[in-house]
Structure 1
Amino acid sequence: METARLASLIAATITMGLVSGLFYGFSVSVMPGLKRTDDRTVIDVMQKINVAILNGWFVLGYIGAFVFTALAVGLHVPADGRDVLPPLIAALVAYVAAMGLTNKVNIPLNNALEKAGPVDRIADPAAVRRAFEAPWVRANVWRTLLCTASLGFLAWALFAYGALK
């Protein structure tokens, strides 16, 4: 059981790090870079990213972060969780909030961008960009912060787990 607890905690930390890093990368490089381009480029690139990101590696990180964190919580409940369980629960709550934000804001904005159609056929690309960019960036900053907090809580849990041994 100890091996499963540690393995789930390590897997949760790694996958959360991947997701946190992905969202951070968008916050500090992709979106600031796109901000310096024209409307059609933003739409075209984000439409292509929204298709490309739906792959097994993304799913492994995004869903894995949830599954492994929830598993770590579940495996630590029957154990003495006074040291490890609180940061694990905090990590799970922060990540569920990030997933909720993704589902309520980022995904609908991505879908609306896709529904706008091929970039060369959009009559008013400036309007499409205005409806998408600012709210998507704001939500991404928040989910980056939530995922980073979750990663910090998982690091705390790893430290607490090691201190108990």
Structure 2
Amino acid sequence: METIRLASLIVAIVTMGMVSGLFYSFAVAVMPGLKSTDDRTVIEVMQRINVAILNGWFVLGYLGAFLFTTLALALHITPGSRDVLPPLIAALVCYVVSMGVTNKVNIPLNNALEKAGPVARISDPAAVRRAFEGPWVRANIWRTLLCTASVGFLAWALCLHGQTR
């Protein structure tokens, strides 16, 4: 059982790190890189990214972070592991809030961008970009911070886990 508890923590950290890194990459590279491009380029690139990202590797990280953090928490609800619970709970709460931001802000904005249609047929690409870019970037910064905090809490839990053995 001890090996399973430890493994769940490690896999939770890895998958959470994958998601945190993905959001961080958008915050520090992708969106700043697109900022200086024209409206149609931003729309086309983000439409393509929104299609490409829906793959098994993304699902592994995105859902895996939730599932393995939840599993680690459930496996540590034992008398000898209670010190690990506060950072595990904090990690899970941060990630659930991040998922909420994604579901309430980023996904609807992605869907609206897709509904705008092929970029060549958009009559006012500046308006489409304005409606998308600012809110999406702000929400992405929040989910980046939340996921990064979650990684930190999971690392803290791993340290505490090692101390209780």
1:152 aligns with 152
TM-score, with structure 1 as normaliser: 0.99
> How far 1:163 moved relative to its partner?
1.3
Q: Which residue of 1 aligns with 2:70?
A: 70
Q: Which moved more, 1:76-85 or 1:95-104?
A: 76-85
Runs of 5+ unmatched residues, structure 1: none
- What stretches of structure 1 move > 4 A for 4+ residues in a row? none
For 1:107 and 1:11, locate their aligned partners in 2 and report how far apart those are by CA, in whole Å. Answer: 26
Question: 1:164 offset after TM fit, Å?
Answer: 1.4
Q: Let me know the Cα RMSD of the aligned residues.
A: 0.7
How far off is 1:81 after superposition? 3.1
Structure 2 equivalent of residue 32 of structure 1: 32
Percent of residue pairs identical? 78
The answer for the alignment partner of 2:101 in structure 1 is 101
Note the C-alpha offset of 1:153: 0.0
Q: Do the aligned residues in 1 keep the contact of 2:80 with 2:164 (CA within 8 Å)?
A: no
* Aligned-partner SS, 1:120: helix
AA matched with 1:74? A
- Could you say which residue in structure 1 is the equivalent of 2:111? 111
Aligned length: 165
Q: 8 Å contact 2:91–2:150 — kept in the other structure?
A: yes
- Mind listing any 5+ residue stretches in structure 2 that lack a counterpart? none
Tell me how far apart the structure 2 counterparts of residues 18 and 87 of structure 1 sit (CA, whole Å): 19
Q: 1:49 maps to what in 2?
A: 49
**TM-score, length basis structure 2:** 0.99
**How far apart, CA to CA, are the structure 2 residues paired with 1:107 and 1:130?**
16
Question: Which string of whole-angstrom CA distances, capped at 9 and with x for unpartnered residues, describes residues 104-155 of structure 1?
Answer: 0000000000000000000000000000000000000000000000000000
In the other structure, the counterpart of 1:85 is 85
1:45-89 residue CA offsets vs partner (Å, 9 max, x unmatched): 000000000000000000000000000000001242332111000
Residues in 1 aligned to 2:105 and 2:80: alpha-carbon distance in whole angstroms: 38
CA deviation string 1:31-52 (max 9, x = no partner): 0000010000000000000000
Q: Partner of 1:81: helix, strand, or coil?
A: helix
Partner Cα distance (2:37, 2:8) in 1: 42
Which residue type is aligned with residue 137 of structure 1?
V
